[in-house]
Amino acid sequence: MVTSFEALVATPFRDGVNAVCWPRDLRGDFDEVVDKLGTAGDITSIDEARLTSLEVSPAGQEAVAALLDDLRRLRAIGQEPTLDCVRRYPRDHDGPVATDVYSFHIDSATAPTDTFLCSYTGASTEGLRHEEAWPRVDAPAIRARLLERFGGDEGEAFTAWLGENSFDLHYEPLPSARPFSFGLFNLWRVAVQYPGCPVPACIHRAPEDAPGQPPRLLLIS
């Protein structure tokens, strides 16, 4: 936990720490912003021009100002954040390992980078500690099905194929696991898997959507 954006960016990942959180209690009516956006699709990206054009109450204006501040402060450090209104993400039910964002997973990259994210409305992202999870591809039954789909044997080619299809990025929680909530308004920076990363990447997932649940307003970079 840190107390400023500067500390959020500067705190190194080391000694097993793979997530840094800047807890916040933002002012403003973010639900009004979502309502005024009037988005109908499953995922809608919102730009600054659309935000500033909204006719909202003073409380809604406070929320808009907070969203704009977060977008601008991340861009100032070279990030490319997106602000999305999310009703539901695509599901992946085809195969032995689901690779959609509702599955506990880690982010990966080919060069050093981090993931920043913040939930403003709806349910928030969930995290899972590594000692409370195991890679899905290590389950014997799942691995057998993956090998069958691959059409070959264990080896470097199979390992590379798992990576190409993102199967190796997904995790199953242990029966005793206790996932934790990222909470609303908190700005997080989490570790990504890349060559030379000093810590295990942070395991996380999107919360399950439910009928009648309000859309999520999510910033991610």
pLDDT in tens, 40-61: 789 999 999 999 999 999 999 9
Burial of 193 (0-12, 13-18, 19+ CB in 10 A): middle
Residues of the chain predicted below pLDDT 50: none
For CA atoms 99, 144, 157, 203, the dihedral sign is positive
Answer yes or no: are the C-beta atoms of 172 and 139 closer than 8 Å: yes
Q: How confident is the model over 77-89, as pLDDT tens digits?
A: 999 999 999 998 9
Share of the chain above pLDDT 70, in %: 100
**Which residue type sits at 177?**
A
Q: How confident is the model over 195-209, as pLDDT tens digits?
A: 999 999 999 999 987
Q: How many residues does the chain have?
A: 221
